[in-house]
Chains A and B, each alone.
Chain A
């Protein structure tokens, strides 16, 4: 009996056994909280299902309906517009600010901290609520700038208020760029200077190529987040006016919980997964063309 116990203990202490035991939380979590829900939703995407009553298998009906749903096409357009403008603007902006703060002054960490504050607060409901008040007709923005315009009530401008909110939270991308910039060896710039290169050409020939993998990583993560924008749209505009800010996930949420079409919403979710996979794959294919991966 005693012997058996010790062998069990030594089995437990084998490297691969310990490895699987310690990785078990993730293995179980992945199966229980990602694979299981995804499978359930895949099944329901082929059903008429309203959460309350039992599902009814309808085959491809939801997917066929998707193709001719004008509201869905509109939500895709709105979402891509949002991502198309907010992501590049945010990345450009964060790179410019990171460059601006590269000057080795004592105050640089302080400025970096201040610029980072909107990012850290940005995900909160409080900031979304605040943003709504900043851009109402008698809100802070109009009173400071002298405009008298209901930014959130017009189809042309409402989405830009949300894009601006996203760009305002450039802090975390800025920090990533800052640390990547610091890793570029100073000698490169000195050598370029000796060779007669100006600041602008050394930016395009040294800084940008060496940052390209950081930009690539940021671009993927920010684009995915941009395509899945939900909370801000739900709180600030709720899709209004005239569905001009009805983002894809917001529409999916409404289909599931407002119109009780959980089956249809599941199908929408799977379409978004496919869109994100193809978008990421597309970026990876173009990676060779513009991302510098050599060492230095």
Chain B
């Protein structure tokens, strides 16, 4: 009896602690979202109260005007375009390469896969200058090409790895049966493997989309004209202390830029947590 009671007290204490901690964790984000509905001159004066007293959408209408005569509608459209193209290319190419590494036997396979693993240790920051110089030589500066074309060539090692390990879990007998029925290796990929790896594909689509959505460095390096900016680059310039002291509009546009991420997280949470857990995928 006492033991049970002691356990009960512990459970209450545990939940109180974990919940408080969770609130502390997301408090800054909540503060940002709710502050975006406060009149801009009251944000810091009322920073300790979360809920806005007189909710207003003024920050949104004002912020939506954007920078240098270019509205956020343009930036969102640009970002969406880059995201869709890049995600499409990344997904298709990673499926092809992942399947090749998982199922087909050829001389250089293990060597190529080792290179994939190596590229996972070369994050974009280290390739920043080399890739800039290279794309500059190709004349790709101020176009979306550096942000979209590499995606079509399976340069994201994590995604290739993810697809490959997922395919390896599918029983080989399915392939063998299809071979006997005269199916080619390409046919096996399309008819047998593709329908079975939908969860892995979903994970790749989600993370590729999110990474592209958040890609600030690429936009900073390659996009020069305001009307070509993506949301992340526009947001940075919009929020620079020199150009802006309208904190309300700043928070409003920040909130909008996080909205797609949040929406994807809410609807696709299962795939995301699984994707992370299985391959250590990091955004």
A binding-site residues for B, Cβ under 8 Å: 13, 15-16, 18-20, 22-23, 25-30, 32-34, 36-38, 40-41, 44, 51, 100-101, 103, 105, 107, 111-127, 129-131, 133-134, 138-140, 143-144, 168, 172, 175-176, 178-179, 217-218, 220-221, 224-225, 228-231, 234-235, 249, 252-253, 256, 262, 265-266, 268-269, 272-273, 276, 280
Chain B facing A: main interface SS: helix
> Which residues on A sit within 8 Å (CB–CB) of B129?
41, 252, 256, 262, 265-266, 268-269
Q: Which of B51-59, B61-69, B194-202, B252-260 sits within the interface? A: B252-260
Structural contact, B104 and A18, CB atoms closer than 8 A: yes
> Which residues on A sit within 8 Å (CB–CB) of B184?
13, 18
A221-B97 in contact given A29-B150, A280-B121 (Cβ < 8 Å): no
Specify which of A26, A138, A175 lies most central, judged by the most chain B CB atoms within 10 Å of its CB: A26
**Taking CB as reference atom, which chain B residue is nearest A135?**
B28
A224-B25 in contact given A18-B184, A172-B276, A230-B217 (Cβ < 8 Å): no
Structural contact, A26 and B112, CB atoms closer than 8 A: yes
> Which residues on B sit within 8 Å (CB–CB) of A268?
129
**B220 nearest CB across to chain A (Å):** 8
Given contacts A123-B211, A140-B28, list 14 more A-B pairs with CB under 8 A: A18-B104, A19-B185, A26-B155, A29-B154, A30-B115, A40-B137, A103-B14, A118-B29, A125-B236, A129-B239, A130-B32, A168-B25, A179-B278, A225-B123
| CA distance in complex: A230, B123 (Å) | 11
Structural contact, B217 and A22, CB atoms closer than 8 A: no
Q: Is B280 an interface residue (CB 8 A)?
A: yes
A37-B131 in contact given A26-B93, A235-B236 (Cβ < 8 Å): yes
Between A and B, 10 residue pairs with Cβ closer than 8 Å are: A18-B186, A20-B108, A37-B127, A114-B25, A124-B261, A127-B29, A129-B235, A134-B31, A138-B47, A139-B44
**Taking CB as reference atom, which chain B residue is nearest A174?**
B276
Q: Is B76 an interface residue (CB 8 A)?
A: no
Among B47, B106, B128, contact of A16 (Cβ-Cβ < 8 Å): B106
List of 4 A-B pairs having minimum Cβ-Cβ separation, nearest first: A29-B153, A179-B277, A19-B104, A41-B130
Among B15, B126, B213, contact of A228 (Cβ-Cβ < 8 Å): B126
Q: Is B42 an interface residue (CB 8 A)?
A: no
Specify which of A22, A127, A224 lies most central, judged by the most chain B CB atoms within 10 Å of its CB: A22
**B13 nearest CB across to chain A (Å):** 12
| CA distance in complex: A138, B153 (Å) | 48
Structural contact, A114 and B280, CB atoms closer than 8 A: no
Structural contact, B277 and A176, CB atoms closer than 8 A: yes
Chain A facing B: main interface SS: helix
What is the size category of the interface that chain B forms with chain A?
35 or more
Structural contact, A230 and B273, CB atoms closer than 8 A: no
Structural contact, A172 and B282, CB atoms closer than 8 A: yes
Among B11, B25, B250, B277, contact of A117 (Cβ-Cβ < 8 Å): B25
Structural contact, B100 and A117, CB atoms closer than 8 A: no
Q: Is B60 an interface residue (CB 8 A)?
A: no
Q: Is B160 an interface residue (CB 8 A)?
A: yes
1/0 contact trace for B244-283 toward A, CB 8 Å?
0001001101110110011001000100110011101111
**Taking CB as reference atom, which chain B residue is nearest A175?**
B276
| CA distance in complex: A228, B112 (Å) | 25
Structural contact, B18 and A16, CB atoms closer than 8 A: no
Structural contact, B236 and A120, CB atoms closer than 8 A: no
> Which residues on A sit within 8 Å (CB–CB) of B47?
138-140, 143-144
Structural contact, B277 and A30, CB atoms closer than 8 A: no
Structural contact, B44 and A138, CB atoms closer than 8 A: yes
**Taking CB as reference atom, which chain B residue is nearest A225?**
B123
**A35 nearest CB across to chain B (Å):** 10
**B257 nearest CB across to chain A (Å):** 5
**Taking CB as reference atom, which chain B residue is nearest A231?**
B216
**Taking CB as reference atom, which chain A residue is nearest B230?**
A125
> Which residues on B sit within 8 Å (CB–CB) of A172?
276, 281-283
| CA distance in complex: A161, B239 (Å) | 19
> Which residues on B sit within 8 Å (CB–CB) of A175?
273, 276-277
Among A29, A111, A256, A269, contact of B18 (Cβ-Cβ < 8 Å): A111
Among B109, B152, B216, B239, contact of A25 (Cβ-Cβ < 8 Å): B152
**Taking CB as reference atom, which chain A residue is nearest B127?**
A37
Structural contact, B25 and A36, CB atoms closer than 8 A: no
A269-B126 in contact given A117-B265, A262-B133 (Cβ < 8 Å): yes
Structural contact, B106 and A15, CB atoms closer than 8 A: yes
Q: Is B243 an interface residue (CB 8 A)?
A: no
Q: Is B166 an interface residue (CB 8 A)?
A: no
Q: Is B41 an interface residue (CB 8 A)?
A: no
